[in-house]
Amino acid sequence: MGKRVNLATIDDKPVAVTAPAESAPGVPLALVVANPRNPRQSLGDLEDLKSIATRQLQPCLVVSAKGYLALWPEDADRVGGAQYVVVNGYRRLAAAEKFGRAELLIIHDESVASSRGELPGAAVEENIGRQDFDVIEEAMAVEAVVAEYSSAREAAEARGWTPGWISQRRALLKLSPEMQQALRAGDLAVRDARRLARVPAADQVATWHAEQEAGAERKKAQAEERKRVAVVPQPTSDPSATGSSVAFTAVNATEAGAVGEDSDSQSTSAFTTVNAEAPVSHVPEPRSSSPASDGVDWANPQAIADLCTSNMTRDDLEAILEILTSRL
């Protein structure tokens, strides 16, 4: 059996520790502190991590307190006497404290503390896509990362993100508190939130309510129209025929049965259309690769992109991006 290593005596050396099949000691909780700049505002219900009291399945990523304070010396009081700062694994640390685990298994990687952009960037990337990491927390974390670079584009290049993705997240921070809460609660879709973010904060709630009312009216009108007009397939004269003719009858449901014996004196909304041709194909016609009459080659995405970037503002381009993304 190999000799055990006391991680509490190691300073500034990358060490990987994984949980063996049997219980083994890790770092005492008193020597570990959560990142004071944790992008997560709420750790949620920790019951799903209750088993950590007897077994920790995944270690936490940490940097030394010394390395952390070299970046943010103003956080000395919050780090206190801890030797390690947790970068990824806040919920595991909180669960260990709540359910009585004495020690924490860690992975110590000091390279994460190489810059003020690297450390929060690593924290964001670990949480992206997690259900309990809401979009406003994500937006705030992205904003904190961008603040450590000279520009959003530099941050995108450093972190491997796209400028559009950063722009979309940061836009959510322009929402009013009421709209942010609606987004977090799931009452407001992200694509709608990004559009509302372009409206002055004072007008966002009223605009949202107006859009909801307009949407409800459209749905009501569509439902009434579906009730008014029913499309009923009619059998062909030759049941054995397969596609030689197709017949449909559109009936005004509100007036059905109103036609009396005297068909000349009363109008009817019933009509029958017979298509004696072959069934309509649903395969689209191939697009022409030649430019359209307006000079734009609509079959060439690069040409369209060049045209847009040369004639539209950045805000307009972002709006177009959001619309296209929502329709994919």
Q: What tens digit of pLDDT does each residue of 203-246 get?
A: 999 999 998 888 888 888 888 888 877 655 555 555 555 544 44
Task: Judge whether 280 lies within some domain.
Answer: no
Contact 88, 60 (CB under 8 A): yes
Handedness of CA 120, 126, 127, 129 (dihedral sign): positive
Task: Judge whether 45 lies within some domain.
Answer: yes
Task: Judge whether 255 lies within some domain.
Answer: no
Given a cut of 90, is residue 297 above it in pLDDT? no
State what percent of residues in the chain have pLDDT above 70: 68
* Residue range of the domain that includes 15: 1-133
Q: In what order do the strands lie in the sheet with 32-34?
A: 15-16, 106-108, 60-64, 84-88, 32-34
Q: How confident is the model at residue 12 (pLDDT cuts 50, 70, 90)?
A: very low
Query: How far is 123 from 109, CA to CA, in rounded Å?
Result: 13
Strand 60-64 with 103-104, pairing: unpaired
Task: Judge whether 218 lies within some domain.
Answer: no
Task: Judge whether 149 lies within some domain.
Answer: no
The predicted structure's pLDDT at residue 216? 87
The residue among 282 and 202 whose pLDDT is bigger is 202
How many distinct structural domains can be found in the chain?
Answer: 1
Give DSSP secondary structure letters for 148-200: TSSSHHHHHHHHT--HHHHHHHHHGGGS-HHHHHHHHHTSS-HHHHHHHTTS-
Task: Judge whether 55 lies within some domain.
Answer: yes
Q: How confident is the model at residue 274 (pLDDT cuts 50, 70, 90)?
A: very low
The predicted structure's pLDDT at residue 93? 92
Query: What's the average model confidence in pLDDT over 110-132?
Result: 79
Q: What tens digit of pLDDT does each residue of 54-105 get?
A: 989 889 999 999 999 999 999 999 999 999 999 988 889 999 999 999 999 9
Q: How confident is the model at residue 28 (pLDDT cuts 50, 70, 90)?
A: very high
What is the pTM assigned to this prediction? 0.48
The answer to which of 89-98, 109-118, 121-130 has the lowest mean pLDDT is: 121-130
Task: Judge whether 85 lies within some domain.
Answer: yes
Task: Judge whether 142 lies within some domain.
Answer: no
Q: What tens digit of pLDDT does each residue of 93-105 get?
A: 999 999 999 999 9
Q: Distances from the Cα of 53 to the Cαs of 84, 97, 98, 223, in angstroms? A: 21, 9, 9, 55
The answer to which of 1-10, 64-73, 147-156, 182-191 has the lowest mean pLDDT is: 1-10
SS3 readout for 68-124: HHHHCHHHHHHHCCCCEEEEECHHHHHHHHHHCCCEECEEECHHHHCCCCHHHHHHH
